[in-house]
Structure 1
Amino acid sequence: MAVIAKKQAHGTGIPTIYGILFAIGAGHFFNDSIQAVVPAMFPILEKTLSLSYSQIGWIAFVVNMTSSVMQPVFGLYADKRPRPFLLPLGMFMSMLGLIGFGLSPNFYIILCSVFFIGIGSAVFHPEGSRVAYMAAGEKRGLAQSIYQVGGNFGQSLAPVFTALIFYPFGQKGILSFTFVAAMGIILLIFVSKWYKQQISFGAQIKKKIVASTTKQRIHPKLIGAMILLVFIVFARSWYSAGISNFYQFYLIEDYGISIQGAQIYIFIFMIAGVIGTFLGGPLADRFGKRNIILFSLVGAAPLAMMLPYVPLFLVIPMFFLIGFIITSSFSVTVVYAQELMPNKIGMVSGLIVGLAFGMGAIGSVLYGNLADFFSIKFVMILCSFLPLLGLLTFLLPKDEKVREMNEQTR
């Protein structure tokens, strides 16, 4: 650790600390696996508690909105006062939510329980992104990919949980995930100790960084780019929310698939997203972050628009391609946002990963109401046009231009 601090102090290259990156990536996996329990339970809750699509949308709204909107708040706080203990604390709060969720007898107690799961996730994410940033060295795209792929892999297991755990064991099966939370707490205690040591070793360096960045103004065009980036991620999140929360019902109602069979299709979409997330970072390091963001949405748009109309045998290959392409910018948008505002790492990480997904939570409520009022097919057709909003990426500044504008304000 001391060697790293000396290298930083002398301004030489900072090494990429893969052990910490894989550890925080595993912590992200545990965190998002717990959050994936919520949508995984939707088909079961619809039957056992006779929930409407609107109520399912509200459950998705509460867990996503609390986990999302609070992320920039915790991130802004951590930018001023880093708190390593927030990592295991967030996981502990998620554990409390899991216990409540597993024992909830009605819709309203479920809402209270998923609120705790959401808050726990909101506490974890900004500090997790900060740890990935600190351990990245010069490989920021790769580092964010390692960190984000853990979370996306955890989310991708939602249909597996439904098919293998919740379908046969019901709501009580949720309680088994308290062991996942316990393992996450132990792992994050280890990571938080490293984080705390880095804060101590880097105290003098931090003063220099603060002196150089607190006086740094933010170029007005970069503020506009950040707003536009949030909107673009918001459109991507609305599409993903429609697929992950409601496409399984479309398969069940329009194609006659069973609950367990529908999970295979959702899993294909989400595991393709894991692969896209992992490869997106290195591709962005080579081809540019803005270019990958553009490709991820515009490239997926034609396939997304065809999806509601294709025969069943084409759904899996199309799902794989859409999932891979549209999530290839998942980690890239975080790194691009960090470069737009390099002195607000925690806040912008929470803004991109958090607030933008919170807007996707609003989409879940809208979709649920539209499905009740019209049909699930109507919702899927509506979702299919969202990737077209990726054309707005042309208005974002190129990577080189971002660096030039940051240099101008120093």
Structure 2
Amino acid sequence: MRRNAPIILLSVGHACVDVYQGSVAALVPFFIAERSYSLAVASGIVLAATLLSSVAQPLFGLLTDRWALPWLLPVSTLLGGLGIALSGLSGSYPLTLVFVALSGIGVAAYHPESARVARIAGRGSHRAMGWFSTGGTVGFALAPLMVAAAMSVGGLRWTPLLVLPALVGAALCLPVVRVLQQRQAAGARTTPPPAGSDDVASFVRLSLAVVFRSVAFIGLSTFISLYVRERLGGGIAVGTAALFVLYLGSTVGAVLGGSLAARWDRVVVARWSYLVSVAAVTGVVWVPGPAVFLFLALTSAGLYVPFSLQVTLGQDYLPSRVGTASGITLGLTVSIGGLASPAVGAIADATSLRTALAPLALMPLLSWLIFRTLPEPGVMGAASPGTATAAPSGSGAAKPG
């Protein structure tokens, strides 16, 4: 396998998994239209997708810090797709929540291990991690288009079509797993980081900043389709276009973040990105007319420039617990943002969508304030403690640290 092939396969596989994170928000307007759910009830579906994921991601991170679990990549990908595929088949609201939660668990299982493996495959490169993160944002961007295409066939009963990306993603994971097994068999190990090298205080502050960022992005992604349709008029196509622009801008931001970090400190890049995001979210809520699409693109780019940088920052703050750091920064803190969605929906039901979305502009401001206090850690070497975790599936080999 060529040198860059593993990171490319991981990036595409990441896209196939994050299709299912983006699909949840994309399905909300269809649940409202076909089942007459209120905004608060419909946002409960987003909550179901994120609640179990929030709890499960750090647990999976702890597991991957101790044992090699590369088999999680294809299995979790399939689980994420299966839950979304089943979500539209039952008119039962509790059963829909169960299926969406099942998908959330699959997504939770995927991210800590994949981020650890991506760090190994990219040899510690910020640019490589940026491309890995870009794969996820591409999945987000494609989600509304795929959902709209599937729903146009026959509504929610056609959600089984959405399992197709999971099948592709699982197949792409297999060559990467084989490479990891070969490296482990060749004895590719690294020296564990020195004891006491973790900067827990900085990691906690970083995690809080990611939570605020997540509240803003997930809040917008849940309701922006309905909000733009309300402001501009038009049908589902207008709302789908708005969600697509939001997710497409995140793809640009993820690529840009990796490139900027190659020239400036990650903390500095994140600070400026969050300042841009404050103005951009304000524009989404208050600037009238089609200009909303421009501000949507700026918002998603601004919120996603720090995305991959925050993952590597977390790994460098906790070098002895790369899996745990990945599970929290890439998963838990992102998922927690979904917990705020029902509150945003309840405010929208009681007042208006504009009133409910306006406070989201404060979230990147809070992230910016936190980043003003964060240090730039020493960059870890190309090989990380996770290299030792590239054991064959099911080997049960304990990892150092």
Give the TM-score normalised by structure 2: 0.90
Q: How does 1:248-267 map to 2 (within 5 A)?
A: 248-267=225-244
Q: Does 1:271 align with 2:256?
A: no
Q: Does 1:23 align with 2:1?
A: no
CA displacement at 1:158 relative to structure 2 = 2.7
CA displacement at 1:289 relative to structure 2 = 0.6
Q: Which has the higher mean CA deviation after the structures are superposed, 161-170 or 335-344?
A: 161-170
Which residue matches 2:398?
none
| CA distance in structure 2 between the aligned counterparts of 1:156 and 1:90, rounded to whole angstroms | 20
Which residue matches 2:18?
32
Which residue matches 2:45?
59
Structure-2 change in CA distance of 1:96 and 1:303 (3 Å): closer
Q: Is the 8 A contact 1:34 1:94 kept in 2?
A: yes
| CA distance in structure 2 between the aligned counterparts of 1:381 and 1:35, rounded to whole angstroms | 23
Gaps of 5+ in 2: 382-401
Q: Is the 8 A contact 1:338 1:344 kept in 2?
A: yes
Which residue matches 2:160?
175
Which residue matches 1:297?
274
Give the TM-score normalised by structure 1: 0.88
| CA distance in structure 2 between the aligned counterparts of 1:350 and 1:134, rounded to whole angstroms | 16
- From 39, 43, 59, the equivalent of 2:29 is 43
- From 111, 121, 131, the equivalent of 1:146 is 131
Which residue matches 2:314?
337
Per the alignment, in what secondary structure is the counterpart of residue 384 of structure 1?
Answer: helix
| CA distance in structure 2 between the aligned counterparts of 1:367 and 1:100, rounded to whole angstroms | 26
Q: How does 1:152-171 map to 2 (within 5 A)?
A: 152-171=137-156
Q: Which has the higher mean CA deviation after the structures are superposed, 34-43 or 387-396?
A: 34-43
Identity level (%): 27
| CA distance in structure 1 between the aligned counterparts of 2:250 and 2:81, rounded to whole angstroms | 26
Q: Is the 8 A contact 2:315 2:326 kept in 1?
A: yes
Q: Does 1:216 align with 2:195?
A: yes
CA displacement at 1:162 relative to structure 2 = 4.1
| CA distance in structure 2 between the aligned counterparts of 1:137 and 1:193, rounded to whole angstroms | 18
Structure-2 change in CA distance of 1:371 and 1:185 (3 Å): same
Which residue matches 1:227?
204
Count the aligned residue pairs: 381
Which residue matches 2:81?
95
| CA distance in structure 1 between the aligned counterparts of 2:244 and 2:164, rounded to whole angstroms | 23
| CA distance in structure 2 between the aligned counterparts of 1:197 and 1:48, rounded to whole angstroms | 50
Per the alignment, in what secondary structure is the counterpart of residue 176 of structure 2?
Answer: helix
1:175 alignment partner AA: P
CA displacement at 1:400 relative to structure 2 = 5.2
| CA distance in structure 2 between the aligned counterparts of 1:247 and 1:72, rounded to whole angstroms | 29
CA displacement at 1:303 relative to structure 2 = 2.5
| CA distance in structure 2 between the aligned counterparts of 1:400 and 1:90, rounded to whole angstroms | 32
1:278-333: CA deviations, max 9, x gaps? 12012112111101111121122122223322121211222222221221111010
Structure-2 change in CA distance of 1:37 and 1:144 (3 Å): same
Q: Does 1:247 align with 2:224?
A: yes
| CA distance in structure 1 between the aligned counterparts of 2:57 and 2:213, rounded to whole angstroms | 18
| CA distance in structure 2 between the aligned counterparts of 1:181 and 1:102, rounded to whole angstroms | 17
1:202-249: CA deviations, max 9, x gaps? 36x24xx24xx3x51145xx2111111111111111110111101211
Which residue matches 1:8?
none
CA displacement at 1:122 relative to structure 2 = 1.1
Q: Does 1:284 align with 2:261?
A: yes
Q: Is the 8 A contact 1:37 1:174 kept in 2?
A: no
| CA distance in structure 2 between the aligned counterparts of 1:134 and 1:290, rounded to whole angstroms | 22
Q: Is the 8 A contact 2:86 2:159 kept in 1?
A: no
Gaps of 5+ in 1: 2-15, 404-410
2:370 alignment partner AA: L
CA-atom RMSD in angstroms = 2.1
Larger gyration radius, structure 1 or structure 2:
1
CA displacement at 1:379 relative to structure 2 = 1.1
Structure-2 change in CA distance of 1:402 and 1:345 (3 Å): closer
1:242-276: CA deviations, max 9, x gaps? 11101211122233232211211221121011011
Moved over 3 A (4+): 399-403
Structure-2 change in CA distance of 1:31 and 1:401 (3 Å): closer
1:190 alignment partner AA: P
